[in-house]
Amino acid sequence: MSIRLHFVVEGQSEETLVNRVLRVHLSQFEVWTDARCVYTSRQGPYWIRGGMTRYSRARRDVELWLKQDRGSDVRLTTMFDLYRLPLDFPGMVDAAKQHGVQEKVKILEAAFAEDVVDPRFIHYIQVHEFEALIFADVGRLSIPYPGPERTPALTELERQRKEYGNPEEIDLEAPPSKRIREQIPDYEKISAGILATEAIGLARIREVCTHFHEWLRRLENLGTET
């Protein structure tokens, strides 16, 4: 069965990841994707997209898109960062009681699914943020940032990567993007981040980012679900 899969994502880096990386991969499974950033604010008559500041607006976007496209071949998923998730997100109180990040995100995703009542909805929260995927092979940042003057920064990022078997487990107090910018101040999230992610490849990312892998496997199998 061919599936049309909508993504509601937090920002332009996630939207670009869907359009440049996940779209090609999922098409092999007859899953056809499109993506848009969540509405976050309003300036006059115009709504601004990107960066989730309130859960209520994200929920509205998800539910509105599901109402607009009621096809039985439609599914909708999300890609929101665990890092700085809005305090009004469902399940935050219970998640805060957990020490392990995987336990936290499972509680949040379950509460999210309970709050959006539609069997076509597939919840997903990225642990902790997009840059965790880059830490699957952080040395690939040498592609957008070449030159010997970058070697010490890349060496330090590689040292930090080795501290964690799973980049999704990187300390929330010093999340992946902060670590990268401390070593590469001119790091550009969309162009450089996506270029490095493409170079790493989904196979390596899935090998070390288990939560991301489980989500992608679910998306791959959408056409076989009854």
Per-residue pLDDT of the chain (226 residues; tens, 9 = 90+): 899 999 999 989 999 999 999 999 999 999 999 999 987 654 433 344 446 778 998 999 999 999 999 999 999 999 999 988 999 999 999 999 998 899 999 999 999 999 999 999 999 999 989 999 999 999 999 999 999 999 999 999 999 999 888 999 998 788 999 999 999 999 999 999 999 999 999 999 999 999 999 999 999 999 887 5
Q: Tell whether 18 and 85 lie within a shared domain.
A: yes
Q: Tell whether 25 and 114 lie within a shared domain.
A: yes
CA dist., res. 191 & res. 107, Å (int): 33
Q: Tell whether 97 and 185 lie within a shared domain.
A: no
Q: Tell whether 59 and 124 lie within a shared domain.
A: yes
Q: Tell whether 106 and 140 lie within a shared domain.
A: no
Q: Tell whether 172 and 78 lie within a shared domain.
A: no
| Residue 162 three-state SS | coil
**Structure-derived torsion over alpha carbons of residues 201, 195, 123, 40, reported in degrees to the nearest 10:** 180
C-alpha distances in angstroms, 217 versus 74, 161, 202?
17, 24, 11
CA neighbours within 13 Å on the CB side: how many for 11?
A: 15
Q: Tell whether 112 and 193 lie within a shared domain.
A: no
Residues of the domain holding 71: 3-129+205-224
Q: Tell whether 145 and 193 lie within a shared domain.
A: yes
pTM of the predicted structure, to 2 decimals: 0.92
Q: Tell whether 78 and 175 lie within a shared domain.
A: no
Q: Tell whether 98 and 142 lie within a shared domain.
A: no
